[in-house]
């Protein structure tokens, strides 16, 4: 339990057992990735919908300093474009989430790769939990991800077993097709 959010995952043991019954030639890590991507789609959509947009009038005040590694073509800070946080909310997996027996994924603002800097959601946590302003005050928290989770977590868990079955059947059919080609 973190931030008042609890999850009771029913059926994950059964889904794990079903995926373990896949033939050894089928990459179960990829199957788990397909599962989480399909199951978490409503959560991603809710997070995108709940992500706050900067008000056009306040945009001039929202900026971040250039980092050491960037070319210093002047001392001006970069501004954050309207809709940046909303556009950075994606489904992604890390090497830790792909490890055997972990099988996880993330939904949230991506801060690496093409989402780094002005295209990214590095400030998502500042919005979610609030932060100290330069003037010394505290900004108000806007828990947009927690709200998305509360809205969609039950539907994600409820559809999980059905979606897992569909993905399992698809993986087995793909394996059978591959094996039938090898026999010919």
User: By mean pLDDT, which of 78-82, 151-155, 163-167, 168-172 is the weakest?
Assistant: 78-82
Please check the confidence at residue 11 and state whether its pLDDT lies above 70.
Answer: no
Which range of 9-13, 38-42, 135-139, 160-164 scores highest in mean pLDDT? It is 38-42
d(CA 84, CA 53): 8
The model's pTM = 0.70
Q: What is the pLDDT of residues 81-117, one digit of tens each?
A: 778 888 888 888 887 777 766 677 888 888 777 666 6
Determine the angle formed by the axes of helices 41-50 and 28-39, rounding to 10 degrees: 50
pLDDT at 6: 42
Q: Which residue has the tokens 């500042």?
A: 126
Alpha-carbon distance values, 33 to 36, 68, 117, 159 (Å): 5, 36, 27, 16
Residue 20 has pLDDT above 80, yes or no: no
Q: What angle do CA 31, 47, 142 make, to 5 degrees?
A: 140
For tokens 């569909």, the residue is 166
Answer whether residue 146 shows pLDDT above 50: yes
Check residues 67 and 159 and name the one with the higher pLDDT: 159
**Cα(142)–Cα(152) distance, rounded to whole angstroms?**
18
Q: For the residues 31-48, what does the mean pLDDT come to?
A: 89
State the residue for tokens 């505290």: 138
- The residue with greater pLDDT, 122 or 165, is 165
User: What pLDDT does residue 24 have?
Assistant: 72
Q: What does the alpha-carbon distance between residue 97 and residue 93 come to, in Å, rounded to a whole number? A: 6
């Amino acid at each position: 339990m973190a931030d008042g959010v609890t999850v009771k995952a029913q059926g994950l043991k059964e889904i794990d057992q079903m995926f373990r019954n896949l033939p050894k030639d089928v990459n179960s890590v990829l199957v788990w990735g397909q599962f989480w991507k399909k199951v978490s789609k409503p959560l991603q959509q809710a997070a995108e919908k709940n992500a706050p947009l900067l008000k056009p009038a306040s945009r001039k005040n929202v900026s971040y300093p250039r980092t050491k590694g960037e070319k210093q073509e002047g001392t001006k800070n970069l501004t954050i474009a309207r809709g940046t946080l909303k556009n950075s909310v994606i489904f992604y997996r890390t090497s830790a989430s792909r490890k055997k027996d972990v099988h996880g994924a993330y939904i949230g603002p991506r801060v690496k790769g093409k989402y780094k800097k002005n295209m990214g959601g590095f400030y998502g946590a500042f919005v979610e939990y609030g932060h100290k302003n330069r003037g010394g005050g505290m900004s108000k928290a806007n828990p947009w991800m927690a709200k998305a989770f509360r809205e969609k977590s039950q539907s994600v868990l409820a559809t999980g077993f059905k979606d897992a079955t569909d993905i399992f059947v698809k993986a087995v059919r793909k394996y059978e097709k591959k094996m039938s080609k090898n026999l010919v």
